[in-house]
Structure 1
Amino acid sequence: MLIDSHCHLDRLDLTAHDGSLDAALDAARQRGVGKFLCIGVDAANAPTVKQIAEQHSDVFCSVGIHPLDLSREAPTDLDWLLTALDHPRVVAIGETGLDYHYEPEMAAQQQISFRYHLQAAEQTGKPVIIHTREARADTLALLREADLANAGVLHCFTEDWDMARAALDMGYYISLSGIVTFRNAEALRDVARKVPADRLLVETDSPYLAPVPHRGKPNEPQYVCDVAAFLAEVRGEALEQLWQNTTENFHRLFPLTL
């Protein structure tokens, strides 16, 4: 079994599946994908991701506020997060984090929100799903400050090995998406070769970032198989072993999915 550890099922382009989410999930299941983690990005979609998870036994979800959604959100506090997290299908917090690439002017607000998510992780024991872009120093500083026992994952990782190693040293996992297959991503492939086998996850981040050979098309959960196949080749591992390792890693990080 392979697991898509990060997908936005409420945002998929379902044109190729006659508008049916069930059909898109079945296409992935037929390729060996056994579980899906559907990601929350704001308060508005929290009920939606919960409903999708309730309707499919192999789908779980997270809730949280994406750093790039803060400008469209009412201020989110710790009480809202703790209430939203109190649901049997919610297995993680986020995605949350820092993104100074698109909204550097929101850095202070992003840090406040990120701290709320990390506090919720400390109180609930649920792991955090972290988005970070052009905010390496502040992301690592806040993770060190939080010092979480159960940690979490840096999803759709695009930073360098120094940042990956720092996160790994704090107990975090590294998740790689279709970006690793892109022609100009050799530095990321170097990171992919170095991540320990017991700390690696795979994801699609669908409907975004479709891997080669699907680049330019809407991404979907079944393409996590293409990401995994590419990673196995890059790492010089047997594909079956990478499937097994990443599945075991997912269950270790997100034990509520067992």
Structure 2
Amino acid sequence: MADRHNRDIDRQPAPLPEPLPVPTVDAHAHIEIVTNEAPDSDAVRQVLDDAKSVNVDRIVQVGYSAEQSQWCVDMANAFPGRVLAAVALHPNEAPVVPDLEADWAIIEKLAQDPRVRAIGETGLDYFRTEPALQKRQQESFKWHIDLAKRTNKALVIHDRDSHDDVLSILLEVGAPEKTVFHCFSGDVEMAKTCIDRGYILSFAGTMTFKNAPALRDAVKLVPHDQLLVETDSPFLAPSPHRGALNTPAQIANIVRAMAAERDEDVAELATALSVNAERIFGSFA
């Protein structure tokens, strides 16, 4: 994640979109990469204020390492009512950290904070992880699944080039009651499998990309109560701003794109996404 961090903070943010007619939630963001500042800084507050100006008034700040998960917890505590946290080791971090068990202990301790409402992002990523390290990645995924169940928190899954193994492990060990596929990247058949199993699918700006017709087909199928929206800021700014620095404000553009694909009213969809986020992650108050 560090290399991506350095690249992204040098980009210009996408322009603020037209406000949504009702408030809604960004279910997955990495604000520390957007700002490269302290969790209670003016820069972080400005990102939140920009989002609120377009009616994106709540954000789930998501962890990917032990150190950065602490940042997430600190941000959530600095902005009650506006931010909740998720904590975890990213699947690309798990095989390379010097002491996996020590980092797990940090994540487990952070998970006890009342502002932490999810364990994530965890999962599998075979795009960057060589086959020799995939077993360790799978071990870490199983540990995070167990932690989510023991703490009764949502599980937030990162799944890249690993669909079959992610689904198999969830069946093998048993999925938590609230299991979220962050930045869903599967096709229609995978979406149907996830829907049948009761998983929650979160769509990002990728569904607006020209080369993603499968995602647009998939988003049409998801029942209201199994649907979330996210930016994955600072990555994956939606079209027509692909390549810009993404921020939570871009949820407004993604929701409009989702509503168009689903042939739904924007306000009704935004409200449903907000209700889902509060049901899955709890109150932001």
| TM-score normalized by the length of structure 1 | 0.94
Secondary structure of the 1:212 match is coil
- The answer on 1:67 being equivalent to 2:91 is yes
- Whether the 8 Å contact between 2:69 and 2:107 is mirrored in structure 1 is no
- Indicate the residue corresponding to 2:270 in structure 1: 243
- Indicate the residue corresponding to 1:156 in structure 2: 183
- Indicate the residue corresponding to 1:43 in structure 2: 66
Alignment match of 1:25 (pick from 41, 48, 61): 48
Alignment match of 1:230 (pick from 257, 268, 285): 257
- Cα deviation code 1:228-247 (max 9, x no counterpart): 01110111000001101111
| Change in CA separation of 1:110 and 1:14 when aligned onto 2, cut-off 3 Å | closer
AA matched with 1:55: A
Whole-Å Cα distance in 1 between the matches of residues 121 and 193 of structure 2? 20
- Whether the 8 Å contact between 2:95 and 2:137 is mirrored in structure 1 is no
- Indicate the residue corresponding to 2:119 in structure 1: 93
| TM-score normalized by the length of structure 2 | 0.85
Residue correspondences, number = 256
- Indicate the residue corresponding to 1:5 in structure 2: 27
Percent identity of equivalent pairs: 34
Whole-Å Cα distance in 1 between the matches of residues 112 and 42 of structure 2? 31
- Cα deviation code 1:31-73 (max 9, x no counterpart): 0012100000011112111111111121111100000112442
| Change in CA separation of 1:149 and 1:118 when aligned onto 2, cut-off 3 Å | closer
| Change in CA separation of 1:226 and 1:14 when aligned onto 2, cut-off 3 Å | farther
- Whether the 8 Å contact between 2:126 and 2:161 is mirrored in structure 1 is yes
**RMSD, matched Cα:** 1.8
- Whether the 8 Å contact between 1:121 and 1:148 is mirrored in structure 2 is no
- Indicate the residue corresponding to 1:55 in structure 2: 78
Secondary structure of the 2:93 match is helix
- Indicate the residue corresponding to 1:187 in structure 2: 214
- Whether the 8 Å contact between 1:42 and 1:73 is mirrored in structure 2 is no
Unaligned runs of 5+ in 1: none
Secondary structure of the 1:68 match is coil
Whole-Å Cα distance in 2 between the matches of residues 71 and 118 of structure 1? 17
AA matched with 1:188: L
Whole-Å Cα distance in 2 between the matches of residues 82 and 71 of structure 1? 18
AA matched with 2:256: A
- Whether the 8 Å contact between 2:73 and 2:110 is mirrored in structure 1 is no
Unaligned runs of 5+ in 2: 1-22
Whole-Å Cα distance in 1 between the matches of residues 283 and 98 of structure 2? 29
- Indicate the residue corresponding to 1:81 in structure 2: 107
- Indicate the residue corresponding to 2:196 in structure 1: 169
